[in-house]
Chain A
Amino acid sequence: MIEGILIGLQTALSFKNILMVMMGCFFGTIIGMLPGLGPMTAIALMIPITYGFEPSTGLILMAGVYYGAVFGGSTSSILINAPGVPGTVATAFDGYPMAQQGKAGKALAIAAYSSFAGGTISAIFLLFAAPSLSKISLAFRSPDYFALMVLGLTAVSAFSSKGQFLKAMMMVILGLMLATVGQDSLSDITRFTFNNMNLTDGISFVLIVMATFAMSEALTIILKAKDPSRATEQISLSQLGSIKLDKDERNKMLKSIPRSSVLGFLIGVLPGAGATIASFLAYGMERNYVNEEEKQKFGKGSVHGLAAPETANNAACSGSFVPLLTLGIPGSGTTAVMLGALLGFGIQPGPRLYMTNPEIFWSVIMSMYIGMVILLILNLPLIPYIARVLATPRNFLIPLILFFSVTGIYLMSFNNFDIYLMIGIAVVATFLRLYNFPMPPLILAFVLGGLMEENLRRSLLISDGSFNFLWDRPLTAIILVFTISIISWQAYKSFKK
């Protein structure tokens, strides 16, 4: 292995490859910051350019764009509540409230440090354990994924404190309902499309997020313009841009990072999950770790609530290279595009990749360390300037947010209908917000609902219609028992009050 690391270092440290990491990270960050455009589109457009490069150089560039986008995506989540990539949606839950409290610089810094730590720690896992980790990729079957999604839904409790329980549950149900729109995942039947072909592909996750977060937030601000509590909000610029964390904040972040790295990485290794699921799970799990006082802060600008998903999404991003390189299985659209590019280079992924092309495997991992350092250097000094976005007068900022939401969605599908749909959902969401309905449970249910249904029905299909699959496999049973104990613990606590 030492030999492999040396080969990897040698390849990764060549002038051209360092340049590629820098380029990849730079473009990735920009693409990540722009709402709508994701790493998959960027990488797909990049393939013709990478052809003619060495395979390792091409992969280093594409990997850089991928984790750069997940790194950069947190910026728009925190500043304008418009997640740049799906993996950074959970970042907005606590990052945006934090920015609203005048701590935008701190929030961005926590996101940058957490992303850096998540990416670096998981690259270490990748370095030492990638071959054996491929077993984890294949250990999960449909019943286990189903159980995992149910576990993920318990994160809803993070938003249901203080008499909000019923409202949070109603939003969960609305999210689950929205997830059923479109072509059924198992048969060719379309559901709730009202014979409109624009709905047959379902509602896109990014669209829901942009409508319920960025757009409806902007609309709420407009509607509440005369609200004295908001108008008097005067955030001083120096405070906004400060990236210095106090001791308490640093300690909290350092506590969240290790556990979220491990969780995020493991979820990333699973081909049926990915960075988005990892960030939601990490967010929910983090709330179970912290003490009662800290729990109340979740959703209102908690350091734990920001650090956990930010660490996990970057860790998951590195984790997704395990099934890609050791098994040839892409877990997401982005890794599928990368697999296509690898095959185009004439590289056969699999356990033999270490023997046939050791330089590729090791240099990609090595380049991840370099990339993480570059991203940190690239992002940290810029934070005080980027944070000033919030100092823009509301009269300018809000039209800009609306503009970026609309163009972002249009650039994803080039379909006008999506714009109308987004505006419609945003209007409904704005009304719900005015009546204090929380939006994150809807998002959580929407993203988990589709996967939950699909895996449940597939499990039933495989077990010939019997529900035995719930306890047939130890893994499924363990996850479900864990889920039940979390729920009962929460119920017991609220009952005791």
Chain B
Amino acid sequence: MFKTIKTIISALFASILLLSTTTGSFAIDKLHFVIGGGAGGGWDGTARGTGEALTKAGFLKSASFENMSGGGGGKALAFMINTKPENTILVQSTPLVLRSITRHKGYVKDGGSGVISYKDVVPIAGVIGDYGAIAVAKNSPFKNFKDVVAAYKKDPSSVKMAGGSVRGSMDHLIGALAFQEAGADPNKVIYVPYDAGGKALAGLLSGETQILSTGLGEVMGARDQVRIIGITAPKRVSDAPEVPTLKEQGFDVQFVNWRGFFGPPGMSGSMKKEIAKMLGDVQKTPEWEAVRKRNAWVNIYNPDKKFVKFLEKQTEEMTALMKKLGVI
């Protein structure tokens, strides 16, 4: 019974998204997107947005979507590994790397013999990303990250850092990376976790904390209230050109919260390459641009081998940092 409901719902979504019918033949003409979280979340938006752009731009005849919550995405990962579904890709993001390092319960294999990581699925491509950002309230005495570091060095407990998730999460690591680069002990920075980016923002503006470390996307909506004093991008971003990078202030901190797609283990090399190419080509179309603009995404296309290299590097860097922070 539930299978039927699931099919009906997927079919419904597919038909909604199949607004424009396209002609021509494709090697891959339909894709099924597995989403490890509920509707309305970041993964959900990425998969549905990408699927919409791919079908509207004529790369695919149809795209279907399946939400599969549980274990912070672990359930969907396990589904990909265990059933190896055809024509199916999984949307994932930085937590895939972080949770495999912290041996998060949702990412431990059955029997607890090992941890699921990106190596257990086939990395296809990273498509979009969000840079980390450090923000302060508009009336804060801190004008740039140097001021923050100076205040911290004077009295480490005077700078409390808010973030939208738990200790050892991305929000925590973004700030910790910046402090580490500034020569401070990241473990001594008091990190105050909130259960969502919006609540962390409210915490900053209420004066409870002095700085906020989170994704740039989380603070874009509150640019009237906060001053973003540094982002973890290699250069300034076009959507917020007034925001300085940490790099230009002398702190070479680079961090991307990527979002990308993965295939089931055993996916053929040619299929992987074709989907990766499709995900890259679609970014040049106006249909993608419409979706991108609507979601305020930053295109960071990172296909195939480059993606694997990037994941390796991120794992290495984050493992070192998390050891320092004592979260693993």
Task: Using CB atoms and an 8 Å cutoff, list the residues of chain A in contact with chain B.
Answer: 40-41, 43-45, 47-48, 51, 137-142, 183-188, 190, 193, 195, 197-198, 200-201, 271-272, 323, 327-331, 333, 335-337, 339-346, 348-352, 407, 410-417, 454, 458, 461-462, 464
Given A201-B72, A339-B198, 19 new contacts (CB under 8 A): A138-B205, A140-B206, A186-B166, A187-B167, A200-B71, A201-B106, A271-B199, A272-B199, A323-B202, A328-B225, A330-B198, A335-B198, A336-B197, A344-B293, A344-B296, A349-B222, A411-B9, A458-B192, A461-B190
Question: Given that A339-B221, A413-B70 are contacting pairs, would A138 and B75 also be in contact in the complex, using a CB cutoff of 8 Å?
Answer: no
Task: Answer yes or no: B208 CB below 8 A from chain A CBs.
Answer: yes
- A183 near B72 with CB under 8 A, answer yes
Q: Give CA–CA (A318, B293) in the complex, Å.
A: 28
**Shortest distance from the beta carbon of A327 to any chain B beta carbon, whole Å:** 6
Looking at chain A's contact residues, is the secondary structure mostly helix, strand, loop, or mixed?
A: helix
**Shortest distance from the beta carbon of B63 to any chain A beta carbon, whole Å:** 12
- B75 near A415 with CB under 8 A, answer yes
Question: For residue A419, which residue of chain B has the nearest CB?
Answer: B2
- B205 near A327 with CB under 8 A, answer yes
Question: Given that A195-B112, A197-B75 are contacting pairs, would A142 and B40 also be in contact in the complex, using a CB cutoff of 8 Å?
Answer: no
Question: Given that A141-B208, A201-B69, A329-B201 are contacting pairs, would A410 and B2 also be in contact in the complex, using a CB cutoff of 8 Å?
Answer: yes
Which residues of chain B are within 8 angstroms of A323 by Cβ–Cβ distance? 202
Task: Give a binary string over B22-34; 1 marks a CB under 8 Å from any A CB, 0 the rest.
Answer: 0000000000000
**Shortest distance from the beta carbon of A13 to any chain B beta carbon, whole Å:** 27
**Shortest distance from the beta carbon of A349 to any chain B beta carbon, whole Å:** 6
Which residues of chain A are within 8 angstroms of B13 by Cβ–Cβ distance? 45
- B294 near A47 with CB under 8 A, answer yes
B residues contacting the other copy or chain, number (CB 8 A): 66
**Shortest distance from the beta carbon of B206 to any chain A beta carbon, whole Å:** 5
Question: For residue A342, which residue of chain B has the nearest CB?
Answer: B221
Q: Determine which residue in A335, A411, A412 has the highest number of CB atoms from chain B within 10 A of its CB, and name it.
A: A411
- A461 near B192 with CB under 8 A, answer yes
Task: Using CB atoms and an 8 Å cutoff, list the residues of chain B in contact with chain A.
Answer: 2, 5-6, 9, 13, 16-17, 38-40, 44-45, 48, 52, 66-72, 74-75, 78, 102, 104-108, 112, 157, 160, 166-169, 190, 192-199, 201-203, 205-209, 220-225, 290, 293-296, 327
Which residues of chain B are within 8 angstroms of A183 by Cβ–Cβ distance? 72, 166
- B39 near A41 with CB under 8 A, answer yes
Question: Given that A187-B167, A339-B221, A458-B194 are contacting pairs, would A417 and B203 also be in contact in the complex, using a CB cutoff of 8 Å?
Answer: no
Question: Given that A40-B39, A414-B67 are contacting pairs, would A198 and B202 also be in contact in the complex, using a CB cutoff of 8 Å?
Answer: no
Question: Given that A197-B70, A198-B70 are contacting pairs, would A138 and B202 also be in contact in the complex, using a CB cutoff of 8 Å?
Answer: yes
Which residues of chain B are within 8 angstroms of A337 by Cβ–Cβ distance? 40
Which residues of chain B are within 8 angstroms of A141 by Cβ–Cβ distance? 203, 206-208
- B40 near A40 with CB under 8 A, answer yes
Which residues of chain B are within 8 angstroms of A417 by Cβ–Cβ distance? 70
- A462 near B160 with CB under 8 A, answer yes
Q: Give CA–CA (A329, B205) in the complex, Å.
A: 10
Which residues of chain B are within 8 angstroms of A137 by Cβ–Cβ distance? 202
11 of the cross-chain contacts (CB-CB < 8 Å) are A187-B327, A197-B105, A200-B72, A200-B106, A201-B106, A329-B198, A329-B201, A339-B198, A345-B294, A412-B38, A462-B208
